Amino acid sequence: MSSRSHRLGAVTENLAAATHRKDTAPGLFVCFEGGDGAGKSTQVRLLTESLRQRGREVVVTRQPGGTPLGAQIRELVLHGDHVSARAEALLFAADKAHHVDQLIKPALAAGQVVITDRYVDSSITYQGAGRELGADEITALQHWAVGGLLPDLTVVLDVSPEVGRERRGHVHDRLESEADAFHAAVRRGYLELASQDPERYLVLDASQTVERLHAAVVDGVDRVMAARR
């Protein structure tokens, strides 16, 4: 690709992102990321409860999954037979494209809070860093799939491969059964993404107690809500 078409690509992507921010501005988009066994689902549940107690309408979702088509894709990529690396990346991207269109964008446009368990960064780290497909290409693919719509806040629950493995207990899907080296690359991927954009990321040590983590998450979300007023 020439540098001119690269630049045009970047401009188009920025325009798409700006358009979506306008459409979806009334809502708040929060994402939880982290290695397997980081405790995301517990923190998703606690944040949902606390925001609902404060009167916010919250839509909780997860990726892959979250829509009927997404549930089918989830079965294929996580519980099916071997999927080649590029096909895996495309299936995860297809899940997100459909999900954003059908569920996330309409909810944000209606002023709701959307909390998602995993989003584009899971692919950048698992397919990009873990599968070594190259973070840049996976980032471009993912941003195209979601039309440039990014979370207002991404909470990364940082967990070492060893602790993650211990917490998962028995293996239950294709990605979770990867070796520690894969999970270490995923972890490095998250920390790098967060360091590139500290405003939009909150990195928390997932070995803290559930209560302390929850308090830190609420603080982070409050900060983003205050900044948007």
Q: Closest separation between CB of residue 16 and ligand TYD, Å?
A: 20
* CB closer to ligand TYD, 92 vs 190: 92
Yes or no: say if 149 and 104 are a contact pair by the CB < 8 Å rule.
yes
Window contacting ligand TYD (CB under 6 A); options: 2-10, 25-33, 58-66, 153-161:
58-66
Answer yes or no whether residue 118 interacts with ligand TYD by CB under 6 A: yes
Cis amide prior to 64 (ω within 30 degrees):
yes
Burial of 60 (0-12, 13-18, 19+ CB in 10 A): middle
Q: Among candidates 12, 46, 52, 49, which has minimal Cα distance to 32?
A: 46
Q: How far apart are CA 45 and CA 43, in angstroms?
A: 5
**Cβ-based neighbours of 69, under 8 Å, separated by 6 or more:** 95, 98
Task: Answer yes or no whether residue 182 interacts with ligand TYD by CB under 6 A.
Answer: no
Q: Which stretch binds ligand TYD (CB under 6 A): 14-22, 60-68, 191-199, 200-208?
A: 60-68
Residue 174 CB, shortest distance to ligand TYD, in Å, is 8
Residue 23 interacting with ligand TYD (CB under 6 A): no
Residues in contact with ligand TYD by the rule CB under 6 A: 36, 62-64, 78, 92, 118, 122-123, 126-127, 172-173, 175-176
